[in-house]
Amino acid sequence: MQGQGFAVTELGGRGHSGPVEVLQAVLKRRALPEALATVDACDSDALVMVEQPHIARAGWIMAPDALPLRGRAGDVRRQLGAPRVPEPRIAAPV
């Protein structure tokens, strides 16, 4: 999966039947079908869980052109020239 540009962390574990490999990947939803196809090609009986993250800090993120970027959100935003999301305005009481 790393060879295809996915950010993957491999963990060793022990399951009911003995040692297992646990892979954690952070990817965009549109990349999910490709990631699932890759998992199926390697192990069609693999347990796959898809979760929606609530907070992501630092680490690897995937750029629109699938090149991994590393760093804090503000630094990456400056590298890409992306604007900061404006703070919501709260209306003054009348």
Helix (H) or strand (E) holding 61: strand 60-62
Contact present, 69 and 75 (Cβ < 8 Å): no
Confidence class for position 64, pLDDT limits 50, 70, 90: very low
Q: Give per-residue pLDDT as tens, 20-30.
A: 999 888 888 88
Average pLDDT, the chain: 76
Segments in 44-87 forming alpha helices (H)? 73-80
62: in domain:
yes
The residue with greater pLDDT, 69 or 92, is 92
C-alpha 30: how far from its chain's center?
11
20: in domain:
yes
- Find the mean pLDDT for residues 54-64: 60
Q: Can you tell me the distance from the alpha carbon of 30 to that of 14, in angstroms, rounded to the nearest whole number? A: 31
Helix (H) or strand (E) holding 42: helix 32-42
The parent domain of residue 70 ranges over 2-80
Q: How many domains does the chain have?
A: 1
The token duo for 70 is: 């590393």
